Amino acid sequence: MAQTRWLTADQQDAWVRFAAVLELLPAALNSQLERDEQLSHFEYFVLAMLSEAHDRRLRMTALASRTNSTIARLSRVVSRLEAQGFVARVPSDDDGRVINAVLTDLGWQKIVHAAPGHVENVRHNVVDALTAQQVEQLRTISTLLLERLDPKGAMLASVRPSTTRSNGKRGD
């Protein structure tokens, strides 16, 4: 192709492969969850973020930020989760404009039920496919990429400082 000279052959090779991962890995995560739990990965992630939040609740804007979604998208997904009884919308007492998304007991049961299969899938497709050293390299690389992609670090609000080893407890 015309622009071939813009990247070296090695860089291109790395990028072509990485781009393929970008396409296939999210699809793999989605299909396991959809098959086993009738949940998209995004829906799973919303439930997971709520399950880790204080009081199992988060205002819509905060939840949108942590899941890196637009508020519009989140609003629609929460509506679906609400219809299934996994989440409830509770208006804030302090500020009449804000809505808190609250994980219901049923929602908690759902995420607890779904988590092992999902984690197993992550383990199979990512963690077990790499050496411990490569997992560490991937962590470093991801951190560097996120600095470009998400300078504010909104999505990593729940994650420890970037260059320090994490001891935090948090699932995905």
Partner DNA sequence: TAAGATTGAATCGTCAATCTTA
Partner DNA sequence: TAAGATTGACGATTCAATCTTA
> Using CB distances below 5 to 8 A depending on partner kind, what does residue 96 bind out of DNA, its own copies, none?
DNA
> Using CB distances below 5 to 8 A depending on partner kind, what does residue 98 bind out of its own copies, DNA, none?
DNA
Indicate the residue type of 122.
Answer: V
Of 33-62, which residues contact its own copies (CB under 8 A)?
48, 51-52
Residue 146 binds its own copies (CB under 8 A): yes
Q: Which residues contact 157 (CB under 8 A, 6 or more apart)?
A: 62, 65, 66
Backbone φ and ψ for 57, nearest 5 degrees, come out as -145, 150
Residue 69 binds DNA (CB under 7 A): yes
Of 93-112, which residues contact its own copies (CB under 8 A)?
111-112
Residue 75 region, left (φ>0) first, then alpha (ψ -120 to 50), else beta? alpha
Assign 56 to helix, strand or coil: helix
How does DSSP assign 74-100, residue by residue? HHHHHHHHHHTTSEEEEE-SS-TT-EE
> Using CB distances below 5 to 8 A depending on partner kind, what does residue 74 bind out of its own copies, DNA, none?
DNA
Residue 159 binds its own copies (CB under 8 A): yes
Rule CB under 7 A: which residues touch DNA? 40, 42, 59-61, 69-80, 89, 92, 95-100
